[in-house]
Amino acid sequence: MKTKISIIIGVIVFAALLVGAYFLYSKLGDEYKPDKLVTVEQQTEAETGDDASDDSLLAPDFTVIDTEGNEVKLSNFRGKPVVLNFWASWCPPCKSEMPDFNKKYKEIGDKVQFMMVNCTDGSRETVDTAKEFIKSTDYTFPVFFDTKLDASMKYGASSIPLTFFINSKGELVTYATGMLSAADLERGIGMIME
């Protein structure tokens, strides 16, 4: 009998601890969550201990192709803020964030250049598989294909999704590795709008 009572008390105490932990996490979780967006200045300072120079902020130029097969350079969009996103059709987090990108593109695509760059490696992802995926959706944002992996190498896109926010002067302002929430996308865009 004593053993049964001890077990019941133990279960009640354990349940109370779980409930308490849940409430603490719910209340404090967002307040102490790490920031998804990392500014280029924060990254440079963390790596070198120095402030970022103007040269280190300039976004590396690259060449990709558009859906018509034309070559397009990032520098073609100088003078306009750019949201640069690396994705692939086989990537579940990429697909999960695309509705938010499309919604923002429909809202502000005339003020901000969206560059949805498909990591087209030729085997796991091809131009055809990427085009088929986009065709199967209602997405209207501009899609580009990194068939030579020029952009992917210059931006270290070894893990996707990966998003960079570039101001109208062509300077990297902030970036995020992994899937962005709608709020983080909005915040990143706010950081490059002038």
For 91-107, how does the pLDDT look when each residue is reduced to its tens digit (9 = 90+)?
999 999 999 999 999 99
Pair type for strands 162-166 and 82-87 = antiparallel
Q: Are 152 and 119 in contact (CB under 8 A)?
A: yes
Query: Which amino acid is residue 9, in one-letter code?
Result: I
For 65-96, how does the pLDDT look when each residue is reduced to its tens digit (9 = 90+)?
999 999 999 999 999 999 999 999 999 999 99
Mean pLDDT of 44-58: 56
Q: 106 or 20: whose pLDDT is higher?
A: 106
Query: Which amino acid is residue 48, in one-letter code?
Result: T
Please tell me the distance from the alpha carbon of residue 64 to that of residue 20, in angstroms, as a whole number.
52
Q: Band of the pLDDT at 167, cuts 50, 70, 90?
A: very high
Please tell me the distance from the alpha carbon of residue 60 to that of residue 151, in angstroms, as a whole number.
8
Q: At what angle do helices 182-192 and 92-108 cross, to 10 degrees?
A: 50
What ranges in 125-168 are assigned the alpha helix state H? 127-135, 150-154
Q: 36 or 28: whose pLDDT is higher?
A: 36
